[in-house]
Amino acid sequence: MPAGGPKAEPAPADRTEGASAPGSPTPVAGPGQGPVPPSPGYRAVFRVREFRFVFTAHLFSLLGVVVSELALTVLVYDLTRSPLLSSLTFALGFLPYLVGGTLLAGLTDRFPPRRILVVCDLVCAACVVLMTVPATPVAALLALRCAIAVVSPVFNGTRMATLADVLGEGDLFVLGRSLLRIVSQSALLAGFAAGGVLLTVVPPRGALVVTAATFLVSALLLRLGTVRRPARGGGDGEGGLAGTWALLRDRRVRALMVMFWVPPFFAVVPEALAAPYADEIGVSTAALGLLMCALPVGTITGELLAGSFLSAAARSRLVLPLAVTGVLPYLLYAVRPGVALAAAALFLAGATGAYTLGLDARFVAAVPEERRGRAMTLMTAGMMTVQGVGMAGAGLAAEFVPVHAVVAGTGVVGTLCLLAAAAELRATEGRDGADRHVPHG
């Protein structure tokens, strides 16, 4: 089907009763038009058959990523006995995102989305299979890990853009994105535990075989359960870095991306320093686990509450207040708190992550459809990259300053940066309506 042709839609039976149909925006009441309709809720998203396939494929793909990271880390350490090389396998999960997200972002709009998703899963499966070969040297293992990280932003960006086709650009899209994030955060709580149990039963290469199977299952679900759609066409006609800069010249899109990137840059600091902080206050390994869990638990709770009980209009109004106050709880670290108070601060900081629901709606409205895949790939790549940089920066600062002071300082500096980002986003507020397809300087 040629690019620019009609978009495939779910069958009428798949549409959610009482909610906006996929492909149409969520109605927002204007002055004198009555109350804003309530959110359709998460169950409405699962009534869309195609989303159920995307969601299940996400579960399998995420399981593959989490278990492969853990198994590869153990395998590299077994082969080298080097803590540096072992930890490097985790770092390689962040840094190549920048390469894939900038150089390959244009592919997401130039090829049919289902084909991209299936091919990315197959590439990941092939890389993991090569890792299981006993003769594969350590350097090749790390290179294969990089290859998976390079294609990951292309996969994630394409899937995000496809969600707008599956669920429409309104509230169902926002809730669908929220569900995928909730699953990702839950993986931080359960994924490594499941991988650890698996590694007590099978050797690292055996665990990698399991992860290769999860990528293949994901590819099969996406191939059989999603509709074939044409390529969006990459409307700017520019590839690689030129296309990325062309997108970032849009002031509205640029401001929205910055608002996606700044909070996670600062939010990861307490997690990166959890082990040193536990040592600083002299608590047990169990207490360390509580500190590591508090932030993702808060994030999951905030998203579930916002998605279940707030209307689209309410979530939109809360974007800037929640984002700007996101790292303020870190100021509690100034008093060198115990585990309970530190965990409470992290939980509150995580709960403010509900701002992303309203920000998602603004982002999909601001980006022209023909650039949507590139924009979402770049946004995803940026989020992963800034987290890696934030972790590294936190570790560097903690070499010279006490850990609690680093986290508290993050609360101050992060809030100032978020205020600046919010001011820039507010300055572009008038650009989110009928002029959404007009380039802005």
CATH code for the domain of 246: 1.20.1250.20
Q: Within this chain, do residues 194 and 247 fall inside the same structural domain, yes or no?
A: no
- Provide the domain count of the chain: 2
Q: For residue 41, give the 3-state DSSP assignment.
A: coil
In this prediction, residue 280 has a pLDDT band, given cuts at 50, 70 and 90, of: confident
Residue type (1 letter), 17: E
Pairwise CA distance, residues 416 & 419, whole Å: 5
Q: Does a structural domain hold residue 22?
A: no
Structure tokens given for 304: 């579930």
Domain of residue 363, residue span: 239-431
Q: Report the pLDDT value the prediction gives residue 109, as an integer from 0 to 100.
A: 83
What is residue 351's DSSP assignment? Answer: H
Q: Does a structural domain hold residue 353?
A: yes
pTM: 0.76
Q: Within this chain, do residues 188 and 272 fall inside the same structural domain, yes or no?
A: no
220: pLDDT strictly greater than 50: yes
Q: Which one of 227, 251, 274 terminates a domain?
A: 227
Burial class (CB in 10 A: 0-12, 13-18, 19+), 107: buried
pLDDT digits (tens, 9 = 90+) for 362-373: 998 898 888 888
Q: Does a structural domain hold residue 3?
A: no
Q: Within this chain, do residues 210 and 261 fall inside the same structural domain, yes or no?
A: no
91: pLDDT strictly greater than 70: no
Q: Where are the alpha helices (DSSP H) in 226-267?
A: 240-248, 251-267
Q: Is the CA virtual torsion 165, 167, 170, 173 positive or negative?
A: negative
Q: Within this chain, do residues 119 and 205 fall inside the same structural domain, yes or no?
A: yes
Q: Within this chain, do residues 222 and 264 fall inside the same structural domain, yes or no?
A: no
Pairwise CA distance, residues 130 & 211, whole Å: 12
Q: Within this chain, do residues 91 and 170 fall inside the same structural domain, yes or no?
A: yes
186: pLDDT strictly greater than 90: no
Q: Which one of 171, 201, 227 terminates a domain?
A: 227
Q: Within this chain, do residues 203 and 261 fall inside the same structural domain, yes or no?
A: no
More confident residue, 37 or 244: 244
